[in-house]
């Protein structure tokens, strides 16, 4: 196992299990704020940002030039507790082990698109992952006397610089292809500051960078009120770099599909859904199998246009963890938008709670069969986007 893999394992063990942060980050903004409010249905998103995720969706762009920009902020709350036992081994309650919260602004991305009805293209940048986490607790001995302060701070960003192109004959089928360059950094600092001045404090700093490429291809069938799309993306040449040492990261392809349906009612409703699956059991870190399982996820949402040209949205999404089913995550989304001439202003709110017991996540390096650690966390993310057609 390479240095990067070892550092990831050590920090994951210290943190008590942060699979997103210690892997490829919390999911960022892969599309528009409108799609974020509809269950984060990025693969069915017909915006300039959505065309970077699904190249054939560039064919859905209006004729001419268009551009979009997004950004947001997230509130993360985490509570860790352990069961308290009496002298006979009976459970007498729970003790709060740590409680942390943090508010972090994050960039979404910016993209531009162009279409003449036959050929379409989009290019731009997206923050597809974030590495933001803060943890701290007071370490006590068996007599509940303070021994030390323990902290873990992680920061960083994963960026995707992409280009997409698509071709449409004006009939049923459209084809698209594209690719992106992935680059990112993650900094981690773990400290233990002891009350006893005779004990040496522990400080572990790690700076890492990630680079690689992604190739994407997709197709779309436009049947009027119903649009179906499917495609595949293949990561290539991914590497983690730590202190000048490269570690190869082998990632499998991801198979994706999406659908958009407009029934043509008085509310001008639009239903969107997407689904993805990836054989993440094939992941290798420096030719070492980390023991992951396959993963999949889906999202679905709806938007309705109210009197006054106000658009309201709602959605739901679910993601199966490749580490353990105890770490599966669901999310609830809502949004609102306005159309002012050739400008669209959209806002979205997403809430994602998760609760897991230590003994349910055997895939984590922190696993101990007798540990009663319970982690309850939630992420509330607000995003705002503006799209302009010229």
- The pLDDT tens digits of the residues spanning 313-332 come to 999 999 998 877 877 889 99
Give how far Cα 187 sits from Cα of 19, 38, 87, 156, 314, Å.
16, 32, 42, 6, 35
Please check whether residue 351 is in contact with residue 40, taking contact to mean a CB–CB distance below 8 angstroms. Answer: no
pLDDT of residue 154: 85
Q: What is the pTM of this model?
A: 0.85
Residue 217 β-bridge partners = 177, 232
Handedness of CA 244, 248, 253, 254 (dihedral sign): negative
Backbone angles phi, psi at 88, to 5 degrees: -100, 5
Q: Which of 45, 2, 116 has the alpha carbon at shortest distance from 335? A: 45
Give how far Cα 317 sits from Cα of 84, 108, 296, 314, Å.
35, 19, 11, 11
Q: What is the pLDDT of residues 92-129, one digit of tens each?
A: 555 666 788 888 888 899 999 999 989 999 999 999 88
Q: What is the pLDDT of residues 179-225, one digit of tens each?
A: 999 999 988 888 889 999 999 998 888 888 999 999 999 999 999 89
What is the spatial distance between Cα 179 and Cα 216, in angstroms, rounded to a whole number? 5
Helical H segments across the chain, by residue range: 3-15, 33-37, 48-53
What is the spatial distance between Cα 189 and Cα 129, in angstroms, rounded to a whole number? 19
How does residue 17 score in pLDDT terms, banded at 50, 70 and 90? Answer: very low
Domains parsed from the chain with CATH numbers: 3-389 (2.40.160.60)
What is the spatial distance between Cα 133 and Cα 361, in angstroms, rounded to a whole number? 20
Token look-up 């892997």 returns 23
pLDDT of residue 361: 54
Residue 61 has pLDDT above 80, yes or no: yes
Please check whether residue 227 is in contact with residue 172, taking contact to mean a CB–CB distance below 8 angstroms. Answer: no
Please check whether residue 113 is in contact with residue 166, taking contact to mean a CB–CB distance below 8 angstroms. Answer: no
How does residue 32 score in pLDDT terms, banded at 50, 70 and 90? Answer: very high
Average pLDDT over residues 344-360: 85
Please check whether residue 162 is in contact with residue 124, taking contact to mean a CB–CB distance below 8 angstroms. Answer: yes
How does DSSP classify residue 40?
-
């Amino acid at each position: 196992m390479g240095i990067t893999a070892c550092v990831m394992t050590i920090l994951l063990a210290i943190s008590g299990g942060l699979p997103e942060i210690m892997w490829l980050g919390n999911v960022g903004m892969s599309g528009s704020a409108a799609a974020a409010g509809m269950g984060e249905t990025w693969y069915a998103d017909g915006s300039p940002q959505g065309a970077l995720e699904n190249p054939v969706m560039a064919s859905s762009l209006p004729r001419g030039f268009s551009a979009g920009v997004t950004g947001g902020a997230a509130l993360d709350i985490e509570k860790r507790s352990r069961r308290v036992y009496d002298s006979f081994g009976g459970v007498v309650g729970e003790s709060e082990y740590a409680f942390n919260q943090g508010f972090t602004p994050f960039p979404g991305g910016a993209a531009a698109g162009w279409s003449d009805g036959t050929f379409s293209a989009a290019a731009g940048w997206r923050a597809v992952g974030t590495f933001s986490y803060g943890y701290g607790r007071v370490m006590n001995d068996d007599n509940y006397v303070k021994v030390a302060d323990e902290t873990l701070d992680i920061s960083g960003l994963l960026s995707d610089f992409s280009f997409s192109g698509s071709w449409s004959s004006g009939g049923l089928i459209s084809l698209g292809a594209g690719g992106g360059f992935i680059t990112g950094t993650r900094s981690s600092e773990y400290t233990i500051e002891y009350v006893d001045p005779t004990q040496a404090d522990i400080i572990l700093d790690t700076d890492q960078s990630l680079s690689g490429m992604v190739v994407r291809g997709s197709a779309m069938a436009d049947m009027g009120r119903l649009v179906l799309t499917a495609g595949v993306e293949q990561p290539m040449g991914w590497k983690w770099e730590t202190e000048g040492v490269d570690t190869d990261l082998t990632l499998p392809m991801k198979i994706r599909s999406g659908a958009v349906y407009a029934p043509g009612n008085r509310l001008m409703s639009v239903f969107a859904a997407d689904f993805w699956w990836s054989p993440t059991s094939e992941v290798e870190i420096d030719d070492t199998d980390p023991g992951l399982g396959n993963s999949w996820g889906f999202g679905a949402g709806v938007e309705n246009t109210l009197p006054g040209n106000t658009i309201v949205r709602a959605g739901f999404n679910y993601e199966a963890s490749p580490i353990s089913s105890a770490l599966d995550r669901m999310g609830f989304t809502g949004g609102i938008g306005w159309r002012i001439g050739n400008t669209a202003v959209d806002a979205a709110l997403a809430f994602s709670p998760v609760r897991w017991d230590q003994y349910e996540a055997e895939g984590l390096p922190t696993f101990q069969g007798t540990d009663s650690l319970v982690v309850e966390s939630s992420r509330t993310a607000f995003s705002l986007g503006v799209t302009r057609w010229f």
